[in-house]
Amino acid sequence: MTRLLIVGPPGSGKGTQAARITDSLGVVAISTGDIFRANVKEMTPLGVEAKQYMDAGDYVPDSVTNAMVRDRLAQSDVAEGFLLDGYPRTVAQVAELDDILASNGQNLDAVVLLTADEDELVARLLKRAQIEGRADDTEDVIRHRLSVYREQTQDVVAAYRERGLVREVDGLGELEDVTSRILTALRQDA
């Protein structure tokens, strides 16, 4: 079984690589954004609660997020493994994920940390903003998002690094090369 997290700054290709990795490993990609959207669309009790926060522009509390992740990881399609993107975002969520997995007699196998030069990420995100017509994605806004990412994830990454689970991989380059580096990093432990 393969239970993985993928972490990386905006523009590092996390979503693209998550899809490629899960195809290669035969596990399910789980994005917390997808979990939120599915719960809201299906109007589950958790979705209704989350929507109230989302509509107000507020963060969805950990209690709601944790419950959604717990529910999603209990579904049968993740029995052979998963790659989780966007969770955990806090040390408290790390503890919650540990509890979720332990209740199923499981552990996390690895954390893929995509790294990239900040200036390259800024250039990549500015290009994407131009292509997608996102005039509000200025260099200052992008650099702020990267700073927020670093602040939010440093403690989570540190917690997993202490356990020896982090596999740091250069996220820049051709798609196939990045995927190959990730898969090689994961195989080193197998």
Give the tens place of pLDDT for each residue, 3-44: 999 999 988 999 899 999 999 999 999 998 889 889 999 999
Burial class (CB in 10 A: 0-12, 13-18, 19+), 58: exposed
| 17 has binding-site annotation | no
The mean pLDDT of 54-66, rounded to a whole number, is 85
Q: How many domains does the chain have?
A: 1
Query: Quick one: pLDDT at residue 134?
Result: 80
| 164 has binding-site annotation | no
| 85 has binding-site annotation | no
Q: Is residue 93 part of a domain?
A: yes
Residue 148 has pLDDT above 90, yes or no: no
| 70 has binding-site annotation | no
| 58 has binding-site annotation | yes
Query: Quick one: pLDDT at residue 75?
Result: 92
Q: What is the CATH number of the domain that holds 166?
A: 3.40.50.300
Q: Please name the helix (run of DSSP H) or strand (run of DSSP E) that holds residue 144, with its range, or none.
A: helix 139-162
Q: Is residue 41 part of a domain?
A: yes
Query: Quick one: pLDDT at residue 152?
Result: 85
Structural domain containing residue 48: 2-183
Q: Is residue 190 part of a domain?
A: no
Q: Is residue 189 part of a domain?
A: no
Q: Is residue 146 part of a domain?
A: yes
Q: Is residue 139 part of a domain?
A: yes
> Which residues are identified as catalytic?
14, 89, 128, 134, 145
State how far the alpha carbon of 77 is from the alpha carbons of 16, 68, 88, in Å.
20, 15, 20
Residue 189 has pLDDT above 70, yes or no: no
Q: Is residue 174 part of a domain?
A: yes
Q: Please name the helix (run of DSSP H) or strand (run of DSSP E) that holds residue 145, with its range, or none.
A: helix 139-162
Half-sphere exposure of residue 102, counting CA atoms within 13 Å on the CB side? 6
Say which residues have a Cβ less than 8 Å from residue 37's Cβ, sequence separation at least 6: none
Q: Is residue 106 part of a domain?
A: yes
